[in-house]
């Protein structure tokens, strides 16, 4: 008996020691679990199957439930049962929100697998947007240090939305620009003005109370918005949300920003539309006394929505605009850059030798995004236009790529698999393209400077040295274009536009018609190349030609280049005035075709200049002869297209 008692006391002592040691280890284990994102959630899942409800109630079973659901989801994935996976994936994210892989699995399934099973661009965009929103708005809130979430999100935005591999990519670009144009409005063109514009949002008050403290008239504005809305919808409580921003963007487009609205005399829409919010806004936005209150309120609202709905920090957006270049947030690659760079910065403390390749790939995505922005980073968008947003080269990002290349090369010099060397191939290809694009824009001095930089890095300055880049600029351009459009057809558009820019500036601005004719001949040769290329005959699932958008874009390149020059603040204003006055000599009706597009943007630029107080838009950009007749013709043609579309729709209904 005495021996049994001793055993019992000994066992109790061992248990007490174990509990003491375990208690001491617990803080470290909790810290490790938080750092490695291994915790489960205790939140019950609504409408879940019994096994999930049981697993949630009995904590020890949660891991088994998640394992079961994960294996089941993977098996359904292999069998192509993408829709059936949705519910199980949702349950896993509820039970184990700190499991980053399931967010990626779920988001990729929606953005890539389910989206391509649909039959209309609208349906596709809905699923692509759902996948992006899931990871951005939810997954990263639970896993703010998971670098894979940042990397894949950035890739989806750059590849799926901004790329050309999806049959509905043109629709994605338009919807994306529309969404962010509603949220942030139209940014100014100049880099310094762009920085100041986004800084207003970054410095905005964090709460409505703080907004009122900053600008007391905000209280009156909100009260009048409430009163105005209650008059039209007494049973509906007015909310400060993204719908208000969308209506403000629509009002601005009707009033001054949309050339199509002006052609169709859309100002009358404000009176014809049965929309109470627009009716209220029309009065309040027109009051000069409320101008400062509107600026404060809209900045606060934009900052709040960015934070709450998009999980984005306006302060970080400003920093990247300041440090990297004039980012236009209506461009998907600006968001790809945001998330890849943020992921690289926030996850730096978790990078080890085992996962360094994830960090390397995330930084690679930064460079790919900047490369795309260098080629198409300037965006023009018209709310009333059914076409895709205009996209022009933004040379500022060429210098940014050059700066980051050296930073990343040094950062990954000792990485496994010669990580730093992978950036050299990218940089060599990118700078070769930049030489050609600068040359086509007529920026021969910049092209020569980039070519010299190439030679120092990868030519005579390399080891062993070579003479690949130590040659005449014209010879290099000719050699580098061989086969380039086969590999990257989208470059043809930027080349044609760049060539025509030079044609307008030198051929028209300096009265050298042979230069403009050469630019036109080059654009026509590119069109002919695609018309005779076998890819031009490819018809997508959406019923459009795979290369048709490229051919169409090149066909409109003269107008695109002309608009780009006329609204480009880097082109001296006197030069633009000269080009405007002489443009019709070599390109008949170019002023009629573009006047209403250029005028509101140039007027906006003037408002930022001291010169704007001394000169009017009509003096800078006099209306071309026959503009009223042209507008009437455009309005008639637009009405005819609407009627033809209605007739076709009516015929289809009768057939059904």
CA distance 267 to 148: 48
Look at the block and give the residue holding tokens 């963007």: 249
Tokens for 343, please give them.
Answer: 């992921």
Give the residues across from 583 on adjacent strands: none
Give the residues across from 379 on adjacent strands: 391
CA distance 45 to 39: 16
Q: What is the pLDDT of residue 553?
A: 54
Angle at 218 between CA 213 and CA 223, to 5 degrees: 125
Taking the mean position of all CA atoms in its chain, how far away is CA 638?
Answer: 30
Q: What is the pLDDT of residue 542?
A: 55
Q: Is 599 exposed, middle or buried (0-12, 13-18, 19+ CB in 10 A)?
A: buried
52 shares its domain with 133 = yes
Q: Is 390 exposed, middle or buried (0-12, 13-18, 19+ CB in 10 A)?
A: buried
CA distance 301 to 282: 19
Tell me, yes or no, whether 47 lies in a domain. Answer: yes
Q: Which of 290, 310, 327 is the last residue of a domain?
A: 327
Q: What is the pLDDT of residue 45?
A: 44
594 shares its domain with 637 = no
Furthest C-alpha separation in the chain:
117
632 shares its domain with 620 = no
Q: Characterize the bridge pairing of strands 378-380 and 390-392.
A: antiparallel
Helix axes 513-531, 557-566, angle to 10 degrees: 130
Locate the DSSP E strands across 340-449. Answer: 378-380, 390-392
127 shares its domain with 229 = no
On the CB side of 48, CA atoms within 13 Å amount to: 23
Helix axes 491-502, 513-531, angle to 10 degrees: 170
52 shares its domain with 28 = no
Look at the block and give the residue holding tokens 């209403």: 596
> Total structural domains in the chain?
5
Query: Quick count: other Cβ atoms within 10 Å of Cβ 199?
Result: 18
Which residues fall within 8 angstroms of residue 416, CB to CB, at 6 or more apart? 353, 356, 357
129 shares its domain with 104 = yes
Q: In terms of residue numbers, what domain contains 568?
A: 485-625
Q: What is the pLDDT of residue 438?
A: 81
Q: Which of 327, 355, 388 is the last residue of a domain?
A: 327
CA distance 91 to 8: 46
Check if the beta carbon of residue 95 is closer than 8 Å to that of residue 56: yes
539 three-state secondary structure: strand
Give the residues across from 391 on adjacent strands: 379
Tell me, yes or no, whether 460 lies in a domain. Answer: no
614 shares its domain with 506 = yes
Torsion sign across C-alpha atoms 279, 285, 287, 293: positive
Angle at 549 between CA 593 and CA 152, to 5 degrees: 120
Tell me, yes or no, whether 253 lies in a domain. Answer: yes
Q: Dihedral through CA 91, CA 94, CA 97, CA 103, nearest 10?
A: 40
Query: Quick count: other Cβ atoms within 10 Å of Cβ 433?
Result: 21
Radius of gyration of the chain (CA): 29
44 shares its domain with 31 = no
507 shares its domain with 608 = yes
Residue 541: what are its φ and ψ, rounded to 5°?
Answer: -65, -25
Whether the bond into 464 is cis, omega within 30 of 0? yes
CA distance 366 to 401: 9
CA distance 203 to 375: 30
Tell me, yes or no, whether 428 lies in a domain. Answer: no
Tell me, yes or no, whether 432 lies in a domain. Answer: no
90 shares its domain with 218 = no
Tell me, yes or no, whether 369 lies in a domain. Answer: no
CA distance 173 to 161: 6
Nearest to 51 by CA among 13, 18, 95, 19: 95
Mean pLDDT by 10 residues, the chain (656 residues): 67 68 56 48 46 51 75 80 79 82 90 89 93 94 93 96 88 93 90 94 96 95 87 74 90 67 52 66 86 95 97 97 96 97 90 82 94 89 72 86 90 76 86 84 83 91 86 80 65 74 84 84 74 56 53 65 82 83 88 90 76 73 91 84 65 52
Check if the beta carbon of residue 121 is closer than 8 Å to that of residue 169: no
Nearest to 397 by CA among 366, 422, 357, 436: 366
What is the per-residue DSSP string for 324-342?
A: H----TTSHHHHHHHHHHH
Q: What is the pLDDT of residue 512?
A: 85
Tell me, yes or no, whether 352 lies in a domain. Answer: no
Nearest to 256 by CA among 605, 611, 610: 605
């Amino acid at each position: 008996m005495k021996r049994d008692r001793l055993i019992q006391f000994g066992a109790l002592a061992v248990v007490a020691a174990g509990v003491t040691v375990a208690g001491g280890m617990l803080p470290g284990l909790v810290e490790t679990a938080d750092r490695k994102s291994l915790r489960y959630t205790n939140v019950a899942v609504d409408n879940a199957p019994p096994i999930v409800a049981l697993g949630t109630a009995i904590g020890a079973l949660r891991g088994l439930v998640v394992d079961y659901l994960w294996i089941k989801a993977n098996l359904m994935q292999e069998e192509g049962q993408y829709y059936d996976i949705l519910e199980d994936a949702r349950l896993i994210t509820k039970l184990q929100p700190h499991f980053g892989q399931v967010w990626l699995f779920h988001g990729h399934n929606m953005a890539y697998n389910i989206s391509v099973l649909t039959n209309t661009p609208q349906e596709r965009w809905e699923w692509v947007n759902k996948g992006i929103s899931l990871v951005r708005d939810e997954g990263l809130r639970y896993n703010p240090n998971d670098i894979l979430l940042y990397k894949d999100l950035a890739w989806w935005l750059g590849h799926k939305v901004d790329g050309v591999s999806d049959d509905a990519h043109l629709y994605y670009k338009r919807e994306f620009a529309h969404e962010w144009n509603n949220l942030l409005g139209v940014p100014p063109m100049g880099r310094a003005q762009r920085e100041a514009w986004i800084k207003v949002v970054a410095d905005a008050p964090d709460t409505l109370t703080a907004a009122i403290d900053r600008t007391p008239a905000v209280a009156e504005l909100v009260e009048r918005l409430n009163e105005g809305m209650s008059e039209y919808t007494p049973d509906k409580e007015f909310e400060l949300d993204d719908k208000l921003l969308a209506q403000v963007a629509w009002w601005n487009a009707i009033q001054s920003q949309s050339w199509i609205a002006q052609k169709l005399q859309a100002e009358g829409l404000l009176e014809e539309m049965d929309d109470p919010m627009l009716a209220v806004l029309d009065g309040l936005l027109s009051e000069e006394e409320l101008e400062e209150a509107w600026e404060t309120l809209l900045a606060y609202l934009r900052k709040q929505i960015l934070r709450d709905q998009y999980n984005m920090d306006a302060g970080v957006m400003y920093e990247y605009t300041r440090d990297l270049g004039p980012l236009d947030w209506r461009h998907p690659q600006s968001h790809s850059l945001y998330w890849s760079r943020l992921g690289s910065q926030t996850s730096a403390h978790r990078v080890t030798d085992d996962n360094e390749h994830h960090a390397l790939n995330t930084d690679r995505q930064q460079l790919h995004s900047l490369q795309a922005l260098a080629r198409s980073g300037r965006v023009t968008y018209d709310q009333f236009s059914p076409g895709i947003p205009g996209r022009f080269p933004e040379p500022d990002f060429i210098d940014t790529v050059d700066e980051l290349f050296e930073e990343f090369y040094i950062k990954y010099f000792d990485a496994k698999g010669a990580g730093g060397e992978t950036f050299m191939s990218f940089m060599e290809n990118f700078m070769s393209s930049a030489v050609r694009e600068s040359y086509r824009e007529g920026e021969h001095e910049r092209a020569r400077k980039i070519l010299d930089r190439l030679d120092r890095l990868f030519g005579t300055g390399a080891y062993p040295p070579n003479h690949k880049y130590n040659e005449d600029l014209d010879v290099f351009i000719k050699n580098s274009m061989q086969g380039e459009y086969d590999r990257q057809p989208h470059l043809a558009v930027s080349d044609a536009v760049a060539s025509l820019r030079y044609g307008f500036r030198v051929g028209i601005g300096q009265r050298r018609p042979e230069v403009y004719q050469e630019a036109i001949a080059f654009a026509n040769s590119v069109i002919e190349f695609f018309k005779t290329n076998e890819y031009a005959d490819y018809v997508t699932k959406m019923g459009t030609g795979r290369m048709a958008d490229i051919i169409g874009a090149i066909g409109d390149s003269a107008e695109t280049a002309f608009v780009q020059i006329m609204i480009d603040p880097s082109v001296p204003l006197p030069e633009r005035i000269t080009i405007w006055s002489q443009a019709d000599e070599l390109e008949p009706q170019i002023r009629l075709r573009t006047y209403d597009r250029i005028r509101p943007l140039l007027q906006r630029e003037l408002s930022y200049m001291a010169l704007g107080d001394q000169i009017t838009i009509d003096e800078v950009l006099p209306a071309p002869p026959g503009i009223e007749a042209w507008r009437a013709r455009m309005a008639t043609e637009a009405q005819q297209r609407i009627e033809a579309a209605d007739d076709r729709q009516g015929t289809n209904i009768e057939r059904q």
